[in-house]
Amino acid sequence: MELREVLQQRRSVRTYQDTPIEPHMVQALIDTAILAPSARNSQPWEFWVVLGKHRIDDLSDRAKAWLVEKVAHNPTAEAAQQRQFLATPELSLLYHAPALVLVAAPSFEKQADEDCCLAALTFMLSARDAGIGTCWIGLARPWFNQSATKAELSIPEATSIVAPLVLGYPRQWPKTQERNPATVHWIG
């Protein structure tokens, strides 16, 4: 695909086919993701990969239960929104995806978050180019950063999970979405 087509046609995918994603495909997407720029070319990223719908469903259920508990008595407007979103019993936080990639920084070093975000975006664009759908699951980030979750997944405590990305072959591609016009201030 042309770059512009990839940019226009990438959409967050929330319904996946059961077809597994092969490890070599995930590796190829990661190999492209690391072409992203990073501060001082420090490349402070790692990729933790979980394959298999059932395993991911199990993580999803536990992350959701943890989040429901976390926002239950939180008085902020953001928590109220999350409560509403999570209230749907059939909602799967990780959308029954067959693959999960956690883009992570090996330490909480300054600027590593930005670098990991760029790698995550490059991963998502590269996936779209390969006909694979992705969705960034920011809601699950705090759960993946729990010590107990990291211990279970053999992720070192010092690692900062930045971008949980689910991926798989879409049941259908969402339509291209219009964006609000950019607010541009030309400084004369």
Ligand X SMILES: Cc1cc2nc3c(=O)[nH]c(=O)nc-3n(C[C@H](O)[C@H](O)[C@H](O)COP(=O)(O)O)c2cc1C
Q: Kindly list the residues in this chain that would bind ligand X in the complex (CB under 6 A).
A: 11-12, 14, 135-139, 174, 177
Torsion angle defined by CA atoms of residues 165, 106, 24 and 32, in that order, rounded to the nearest 10 degrees? 80
Choice between 43 and 82, CB closer to ligand X: 82
| Min separation Cβ 137 and ligand X, Å | 4
| Min separation Cβ 174 and ligand X, Å | 6
| Min separation Cβ 179 and ligand X, Å | 8
| Min separation Cβ 124 and ligand X, Å | 8
Choice between 76 and 177, CB closer to ligand X: 177
| Min separation Cβ 95 and ligand X, Å | 7
Q: What is the gyration radius of the CA atoms in the chain, in angstroms?
A: 17
Q: Does the CA dihedral 151-153-157-163 come out positive or negative? A: negative
| Cα distance between residue 105 and residue 99, in whole Å | 20
48 CB burial (10 A radius; 0-12, 13-18, 19+): middle
Choice between 27 and 81, CB closer to ligand X: 81
Residue with the shortest CB distance to ligand X: 138
Measured CA distances, 81 to 71, 72, 78, 93 (Å) = 9, 11, 5, 15
Choice between 109 and 113, CB closer to ligand X: 113
Choice between 14 and 62, CB closer to ligand X: 14
Angle at the Cα of 150 from the Cα atoms of 145 and 151, rounded to 5 degrees: 145
